[in-house]
Amino acid sequence: MLQCIFLLSDSGEVMLEKQLTGQRVDRSICTWFWEHTVSQGDSPKLQSVIASPTHYLFQVLREGITFLACTQVEMPPLMGIEFLCRVADVLTDYLGSLNEDLIKDNFVIVYELLDEMIDNGFPLTTEPNILREMIAPPNIANKMLSVVTGNSSNVSDILPGATSSCIPWRTTNLKYANNEVYVDLVEEMDAIINRDGVLVKCEIYGEVQVNSHLSGVPDLTLSFANPAVLDDVRFHPCVRFRPWEAHEILSFVPPDGQFKLMSYRVRKLKSSPIYVKPQLTSDAGTCRVSVLVGIRNDPGKTIDSITVQFQLPSCVLSADLNSNYGTVNILANKTCSWTIGKIPKDKAPALSGTLLLETGLECLHVFPTFQVGFRIMGVALSGLKIDKLDLKNLPKPPYKGFRALTRAGEFEVRS
């Protein structure tokens, strides 16, 4: 049971405070929290659950804004954290993005939202579709309308249909002139490659994202050509469990707009699309660096946005690094970032140069880890393929769109 929610700016200023129960939480807790954060040094990743002298704090950091919740009683930690994440998601959804100014400009809406999302410390509804009907988002159309009609209320007059609908995530009377539905497979590849170039670990975390603009109450069925590749799946509440259990078919009545239908994990992949081969050899106080990047397994589509990033060890005094393709930048915090983009046809991108070590140090003992980024449009590297999408309960056949995308998640190459 949460007692209070604070929103803090990136300088620790309290932007918003929402007391939830009779036990008022004093603002000084934020000061304590901020001092605690500062005392943790430059590592911005603070534990999500912290025990302060008087309260237990949940914190979630999004775009520089800290969502802080306090409680004094034992409760499921994930409930606190998940809820704060949802608050952040809903605010992003409402305000278009998330930053200090947006929150300060729209604090009345934020209060209204919190009021509907949590009562007496217990979360009520966090479903954006329902909230949007209770509290209208502050968009341009609304502002136009208010200027024209003189009615400047940003609250819809009617009570949301969904609160009384039997499908809580969808309102009953939706109408679109053009019915369309888009299904995207978005995958992230996490991998660890050791210094011998061996793939130590490689797995994919994927999401099926759906954007639906459909009239009435449509019933959708999505099936995969090869559901067997999936290791573990999680569903949006709209997915019916039995059809999946029996035939591995996703049957659902979609919420309106963009939502995450399913997330999944595919383990034990055997290969990565690109290789990164770093080599570091030290000799008499200097270290020669060479990094080669190339395509290992052609996925059949262009690999773009390739980047390689690594942190220079603290014992390095200066670095002189050049590449035959792309740009190399060494940032103030000793992070070296090499932006490659697409791999050219005629040559293999290579980065080379020397690192000058601290005096007295013969050779490098701490080896950097190279973090690799890339993006491949049109391919789901897990091999998952959508078989078909059937729609029922619709007056006329809608437009259906499918896309796939794979990008690097935590893709690490050790040296």
Partner 1 sequence: MAPPAQAQRSSSPSQPSGKGEVADVKSQLRNLAGSRAPGVDDSKRELFKKVISYMTIGIDVSSVFGEMVMCSATSDIVLKKMCYLYVGNYAKVNPDLALLTINFLQRDCKDEDPMIRGLALRSLCSLRVTNLVEYLVGPLGAGLKDNNSYVRMIAVMGVLKLYHISASTCVDADFPTTLKHLLLNDRDTQVVANCLSALQEIWSLGGSASEEVSREREILLSKPVIYYLLNRIREFSEWAQCLVLELVAKYVPADPNEIFDVMNLLEDRLQHANGAVVLATAKVFLQLTLSMTDVHQQVYERIKAPLLTLVSSGSPEQSYAVLSHLHLLVMRAPFIFSSDYKHFYCQYNEPSYVKKLKLEMLTAVANESNTYEIVTELCEYAANVDIPIARESIRAVGKIALQQYDVNAIVDRLLQFLEMEKDYVTAEALVLVKDLLRKYPQWSQDCIAVVGNISSKNVQEPKAKAALIWMLGEYSHEMHDAPYILEGLIENWEDEHSAEVRLHLLTAVMKCFFKRAPETQKSLGAALAAGLADFHQDVHDRALFYYRLLQYNISVAERVVNPPKQAVSVFADTQSSEIKDRIFDEFNSLSVVYQKPSYMFTYKEHRGPFEFSDEIGNLSIGTESTDTVVPNRVEANDKDLLLSTSEKEETRGLNNSSSAYSAPSYDASSLSVPTSQLSELAISNPSVSGNVPQPSFAIDDLLGLGLPTAPAPAPSPPPLKLNPKAVLDPTTFQQKWRQLPISLSQEYSINPQGVAALTTPQALLRHMQGQSIHCIASGGQSPNFKFFFFAQKAEESSTFLVECIVNTSSAKAQIKIKADDQNATQPFSSVFQSALSKFGMP
Pick from 175, 171, 160, 109: nearest CA to 139: 109
Asked if 235 touches partner 1 (CB under 8 A), the answer is: yes
Among 87, 90, 134, 291, binds partner 1 (CB under 8 A): 134
By CB under 8 A, the residues from 337 to 356 that bind partner 1 are: none
Interface with partner 1: number of residues (CB under 8 A): 97
Q: Decide if 129 contacts 256 (C-beta within 8 A).
A: yes
As a whole number of angstroms, the distance between CA 205 and CA 250 comes to: 18
Asked if 122 touches partner 1 (CB under 8 A), the answer is: yes
Whole-angstrom CA distances from 378 to 212, 300, 303 are 20, 9, 10
Give me the least distance between CB of 128 and partner 1, in Å please: 13
Asked if 77 touches partner 1 (CB under 8 A), the answer is: yes
Pick from 299, 298, 281: nearest CA to 290: 281
Among 52, 152, 172, 324, binds partner 1 (CB under 8 A): 152
Pick from 292, 276, 316: nearest CA to 413: 276
Angle, helices 77-95 vs 107-117, to 10°: value is 140
Pairing, β 399-414 against β 180-193: parallel
Q: Considering the complex, state which of residue 288 and residue 365 has its C-beta at the smaller distance from partner 1.
A: 365
Asked if 92 touches partner 1 (CB under 8 A), the answer is: no
Pairing, β 316-323 against β 327-330: unpaired
Per CB under 8 A, the segment of 120-128, 274-282, 346-354, 386-394 that binds partner 1 is: 120-128
Asked if 284 touches partner 1 (CB under 8 A), the answer is: no
Q: Decide if 70 contacts 14 (C-beta within 8 A).
A: no
Among 36, 37, 236, 258, binds partner 1 (CB under 8 A): 236
Secondary structure (3-state) at 188: strand
Asked if 93 touches partner 1 (CB under 8 A), the answer is: no
Per CB under 8 A, the segment of 115-123, 175-183, 218-226, 386-394 that binds partner 1 is: 115-123
Give me the least distance between CB of 342 and partner 1, in Å please: 25
**Backbone conformation region of residue 216, classed left if phi is above 0, alpha if psi is from -120 to 50, else beta:** left
Asked if 209 touches partner 1 (CB under 8 A), the answer is: no
Q: Considering the complex, state which of residue 177 and residue 246 has its C-beta at the smaller distance from partner 1.
A: 246
Q: How many CB atoms lie within 10 A of CB 249?
A: 18
Among 241, 332, 395, 397, binds partner 1 (CB under 8 A): 241
Residues with Cβ < 8 Å from 284, sequence gap 6 or more? Answer: 362
Among 39, 97, 149, 153, binds partner 1 (CB under 8 A): 153
DSSP one-letter string for 300-351: SS-EEEEEEEEEPPTTEEEEEEEESSSEEEE-TTSEEEEEEESPPSS---EE
| Interface pattern 35-74 for partner 1 (x via CB under 8 A) | --------x-xxxxx-x----x-xxxx----------xxx
Give me the least distance between CB of 296 and partner 1, in Å please: 20
Per CB under 8 A, the segment of 159-167, 248-256, 292-300, 387-395 that binds partner 1 is: 159-167
By CB under 8 A, the residues from 314 to 333 that bind partner 1 are: 314
As a whole number of angstroms, the distance between CA 62 and CA 57 comes to: 16
Per CB under 8 A, the segment of 102-110, 211-219, 277-285, 348-356 that binds partner 1 is: 102-110
Among 93, 100, 190, 219, binds partner 1 (CB under 8 A): 190
